[in-house]
Amino acid sequence: MSPLFLIPLSACLLLSACSSGPAKTKTAPVFMEESFDADNIYSRSYTVSPPKACEGARRALLGQGYVVTKATGETVEATKNFQPEPEDHVQLDVRVSCVPHGAEQALVFVSAVQDRYALKKSPTSASVGVGALGSLSLPIGSSDDSLVRVASKTVRDAEFYRRFFDRVNYYLPADANAAPAQPPPTP
């Protein structure tokens, strides 16, 4: 073999080794991140009845511009829309559950889900029927725009939930306006 032939061969081998990219690592299933610890970022205890706690949650959400889609003495559901970029849309859905916790206490659970949508364009065309020739499809130059959900995740930010619970406390009756109590840790 000629030494001149080995130079291009070794260059090809070197380039193919570099282009293979990093080795793929196997990630753990998402549910493995669930600890079920007593960190309580999603719940607080208030010294009011569950309907009063849910009313405080409803008012807290309304006061921040959420559209309340469901409100009962046990649950509140609300939505707020954001548009951080011209072709991106984010929707935040908040769900609150108020359950009895001892005598005249309510345990309030909340979770927020963030859905992200992107604008997708699809071209439109028109068909024209011409007697003996059949139909002819012509592009018009317009497009149909639609929002397509591209991501969805539960909000896990402790500060977001702390601010929510502080605002709920603000809307509770004056005699119950003490700082929200943390539920006891589970053994």
Residue ranges of the domains in the chain?
Answer: 37-124+142-176
**Which comes out higher in pLDDT, residue 148 or 72?**
72
User: In whole angstroms, what is the distance from residue 29 CA to residue 41 CA?
Assistant: 22
Task: Give CA angle at 116 (120, 25), nearest 5°.
Answer: 100
Question: In this model, does residue 13 exceed pLDDT 60?
Answer: no
User: In whole angstroms, what is the distance from residue 100 CA to residue 109 CA?
Assistant: 11
Q: Is 172 helix (H, G, I), strand (E, B) or coil?
A: coil
Question: In this model, does residue 54 exceed pLDDT 50?
Answer: yes
Q: What is the pLDDT of residue 142?
A: 57
Q: What is the pLDDT of residue 37?
A: 73
Question: In this model, does residue 48 exceed pLDDT 90?
Answer: yes
User: In whole angstroms, what is the distance from residue 7 CA to residue 13 CA?
Assistant: 10
The answer to whether the CB of 81 falls within 8 A of the CB of 117 is: no
Mean pLDDT of the 99-110 span = 93
Q: What is the pTM of this model?
A: 0.67
User: In whole angstroms, what is the distance from residue 70 CA to residue 16 CA?
Assistant: 58
Read off the pLDDT of residues 56-88 as tens digits, 9 standing for 90 and up: 999 999 999 999 999 999 999 999 999 988 888
Angle between the 50-63 and 158-170 helix axes, to the nearest 10 degrees? 110
Mean pLDDT of the 100-112 span = 93
What is the end-to-end Cα distance of the chain in Å, rounded?
74
Q: What is the pLDDT of residue 125?
A: 58
Q: Is 102 helix (H, G, I), strand (E, B) or coil?
A: coil
Mean pLDDT of the 120-140 span = 61
Mean pLDDT of the 151-164 span = 95
Question: In this model, does residue 119 exceed pLDDT 60?
Answer: yes
Q: What is the pLDDT of residue 158?
A: 94
CATH number of the 37-124+142-176 domain: 3.30.310.80
